[in-house]
Amino acid sequence: MSHASSADQASPGTLESVMTLEQFILDRRERFPQSTGAFSRLLRDVSVAAKIINHNIRRAGILDVVGETGTVNVQDERQKKLDEIADRELERALRRGGECCLIGSEEQPDTIPLSPQGNFQERFAVFFDPLDGSSNTDVNASVGTIFSVYTLPEDVDEKASLDVTLRPGSEQVAAGYVAYGSSTMFVFTTGNGVNGFTLDPGIGEFLLTHPNLQIPEARAMYSINEADIEDFSPELRSFLKWLKTKDPETGHRIRARYIGSFVSDFHRNLLTGGLYMYPATVDHPKGKLRLMYEANPMAFLVEQAGGQASTGHQRILDLHPDNLHQRTPLFIGSSPLVEAAEAYLQGREEDIPDLP
Ligand code: AHM
Ligand code: MG
C-alpha cells in the first residue's frame, strides 16, 4: 500500500513525482520554529548522520562493526561497536553543522557543549539515543536512532544550559527517529503532524512516502517483555489479561509483537495500531527507557499522530526531568489502549473505553 498523496503519485517512479526530505523541509520552513534556516540545516545534519549510520549498519557482518567494544556506558550497559559509531557520527554531524549548542547522548555521561566559545546565536539542544536496541545488531534485527530537539531561551549562558534544557517534553520543538529495518525510514515531527521518509539507496535521498501519519485506533498489536510478568503489578497483569480477551462478536484477538528494539516496535505499532509497554519492574524500578531521548521524542511523535504516551499515571510530556539519563515507565500507542492501561493501573476499571 502506498502512503504517497495523489499529487505525489502523478508520475510514479520519476524523481519529479516524489519529494525529498530536504525539499520538504525547505517547502515548510515557514511552519518551523526558526525562519533563519538554521533549523532546516539541523534536520539536514541529523539526516546526514543517519545515512552514515545506515551505511555502517548495512555492512555489519562484512566489516568489523558488530560485537562489543569492551567498554560500558554511564548506565553500565556494554557498548556495541555500532553504538560508538552512531554516537560519534551524530556528534560529528551536529558539531560540523554548527546549529546546535548542546548535545546529550545515551552513550555519554554528561551533556556536551558544542560551542565552547559561548557562541549561542543558534540555540538548539539535541538529545539522542544514537542506536536504540543495539543488542539486535549481532542477530541482524532492526534498530533505530531517536532524537529530540529543544530551543534554548535567549538569555541562557553556557553553564546554565544543561539545567535550562532539562525541560518537559511538551517544550520540544522537533523529534524523530530513524528506523533501520528492511528499509531505512526517517520519521519526524515539528508539531505539525508526523511525516515519514524512506531512504532510496540508489540516489541516497530520503523520499516522502508516509505523509501525515496517524496511528490507527485498532487493537492490532501489543508489545511488552512478558518474561518479566512475575515482576508486574496485579493491576498490570489484569490489564494484560483483559487486553488478550477475544472480541465475542468478531472473534478478533490482539497479536503480540516484541522485537526488543523500541524504535522498531514503536514504528510497527504506529503503522498498525497498538500499544508498547515498558513498566517498572524489579530490575528497573523506575522503568527502563530514558525520558530525554527515548520516551519524550516518541511521546511527541505519537501525540502528533493522534495517540498518547503515559507513565500509567501521568502524561509523559508533562514530566519534569531532573537528569539527562532519567528513566520512566512507558505506555505508548493508540489512544484507547493507553487510556485502558491507565484505567487499570489507577484502579478505574469503570473508565475502560470500548475498543474499536
Ligand atoms: P538501549 O537503548 O540500550 O538499546 O535499551 C533500550 C531497549 C529498547 O530498545 C527495548 O525496547 C528495550 O531496551 C528492551 O529491553 P528488554 O530486553 O529488557 O525487554
Ligand atoms: Mg535505547
The answer to whether residues 132 and 272 belong to one domain is: no
Q: pLDDT for 284-297, tens place per residue?
A: 999 999 999 999 99
Does the pLDDT at position 8 exceed 60?
no
Give pTM, 2 decimals.
0.90
Residue 312, domain CATH: 3.40.190.80
What SS3 class is residue 287? strand
Residue 63 binned pLDDT confidence (cut-offs 50, 70, 90): low
**How many whole angstroms from 204 Cα to the centroid of ligand 2?**
26
The percentage of residues in the chain with a pLDDT greater than 70, rounded to a whole number, is: 81
**Ligand 2 center from residue 130 Cα (angstroms):** 8
291, part of any domain: yes
Contact 258, 225 (CB under 8 A): yes
356 occurs within a structural domain: no
Residues 260 and 298 in one domain: yes
Cα–Cα distance, 136 to 139 (Å, whole number) = 5
Q: Does residue 215 lie in a domain region?
A: no
Asked if residue 236 and residue 87 are part of one domain, the reply reads: no
- Is residue 216 included in any domain, yes or no? no
Q: Look-up: residue for cell 539536514?
A: 44
153: in domain? yes
C-alpha cell at 225: 517483555
CA–CA separation, 24 vs 180, rounded Å? 21
Q: Are 320 and 301 members of one domain?
A: yes
Ramachandran class of 172: left when φ > 0, alpha when ψ lies in -120 to 50, beta otherwise:
beta
Residues 198 and 278 in one domain: no
Query: In terms of DSSP bridges, do strands 221-223 and 255-256 run parallel, antiparallel, or are they unpaired?
Result: parallel
Query: Looking at ligand 1, which residue's alpha carbon is closest to its atom 19?
Result: 225
Annotate 36-62 with DSSP letters as a single string: SSHHHHHHHHHHHHHHHHHHHHHTBTT
What pLDDT sits at residue 65?
60
Is 280 within the bounds of a domain?
yes
Could you tell me if 206 and 136 lie in one domain?
A: yes
Task: Identify whether residues 199 and 290 lie together within a single domain.
Answer: no
Ligand 1: residue whose CA is nearest its atom 16? 260
**Contact in structure between 120 and 153 (CB atoms under 8 Å):** no
Q: Please state, rounded to an integer, the average pLDDT across all residues of the chain.
A: 86
What share of the chain in percent tops pLDDT 90?
63
Measured from CB, residues less than 6 Å from any atom of ligand 1 are 77, 106, 129, 132-134, 225, 260-262, 288
Query: How high is the pLDDT of residue 6?
Result: 41
Looking at the fold, whether 244 and 172 belong to one and the same domain comes out as no
DSSP 59-120: TBTTBTTSSEEEEE-TTSPEEEHHHHHHHHHHHHHHHHH--EEEEEETTSSS-EES-TT---
Higher pLDDT, 85 or 77: 85
In sequence order, what are the beta bridge partners of 178?
145, 186
**Residues 239 and 205 both lie in one domain:** no
Q: 210, 242, 258: which is the final residue of a domain? A: 210
Domain co-membership, 63 together with 13: yes
The two beta strands, 205-210 and 194-200, are antiparallel
Contact assessment for residue 339 and residue 308, using Cβ atoms and an 8 Å cutoff: yes
Same domain, yes or no: 249 and 168: no
Q: What CATH number corresponds to the domain at position 202?
A: 3.30.540.10
Pocket test for ligand 1, best of 278, 325, 332 (most atoms within 8 A of CB): 278
Query: How does pLDDT run across 21-58, given as a tens digit for each residue?
Result: 988 988 876 565 555 678 888 899 999 999 999 998 88
Domain limits at 182? 3-210
**159 and 229 part of one domain:** no
**Over the stretch 205-222, which tens digit does the pLDDT of each residue have?**
999 999 999 999 988 999
